Chain A
Amino acid sequence: DGGITQSPKYLFRKEGQNVTLSCEQNLNHDAMYWYRQDPGQGLRLIYYSQIVNDFQKGDIAEGYSVSREKKESFPLTVTSAQKNPTAFYLCASLRDPGGGYTFGSGTRLTVV
């Protein structure tokens, strides 16, 4: 079945370390997105990519980086510059031109 796979489901990071969250899709979608979810804040856009080798900053890009070397993959790196990285991270791809997103199951990142 087609879908979006995020891994790992839970991730623990020590302060000062970079960590990379994986997002893979087999839906043949061009556009992919990363959102951060905090309690009471809804979902906020970190980065998005509409085509391979191109990506744009979202509303809260500081402290994050991405790459889009393959259509299927859109990994997110949380760098040590991100001051409050503990959150739930959701990856998504655009389902169709007039539709909503297909979401992955998310990664819960905790800084210890």
Chain B
Amino acid sequence: AQTVTQSQPEMSVQEAETVTLSCTYDTSESDYYLFWYKQPPSRQMILVIRQEAYKQQNATENRFSVNFQKAAKSFSLKISDSQLGDAAMYFCAYRSPSGEGGSEKLVFGKGTKLTVNP
């Protein structure tokens, strides 16, 4: 079974600085999807960024980017120019590819709580 590990229960960053959240995963599949979700105090889950394993290029979304190391099974999230609104729980998630009887279910890490200091 696939597993996702987030080794940093809590992180903090100064406003306008850069922070990197770590995520590793375990799988025997060669094709899959990886995601970072943000959960602010409202508890609404918000998709931040996604990465297809077959793509070598790292995904970016404005101030958010990933460092995807397929061989190392690592998928870290970098937040640049941190803002107060970035404070939230961040979850890394893995999903098997669709089709071939796949369930398309997401497997989540336990999360990293990010604090942004003014």
Contacts and interface: CB of A to CB of B under 8 A. Distances in A.
A45 interface: yes
Interface in B7-35: 9, 33, 35
A33 B109 contact: no
A105 B40 CA distance: 11
B109 A103 contact: no
B105 A45 contact: yes
Given A41-B110, A42-B110, A42-B111, A100 B50 contact: yes
A18 B52 CA distance: 41
A31 B109 contact: no
- Which of under 10, 10 to 19, 20 to 34, or 35 or more describes the interface residues of A? 20 to 34
Contacts, number: 59
B103 A56 contact: yes
A5 interface: no
A3 B45 CA distance: 13
Q: Which 4 A-B pairs have the closest CB atoms?
A: A103-B45, A42-B110, A43-B108, A42-B108
Interface of A: 31, 33, 35, 40-45, 48, 50, 56, 58, 88, 90, 92, 94-95, 97-101, 103, 105-106
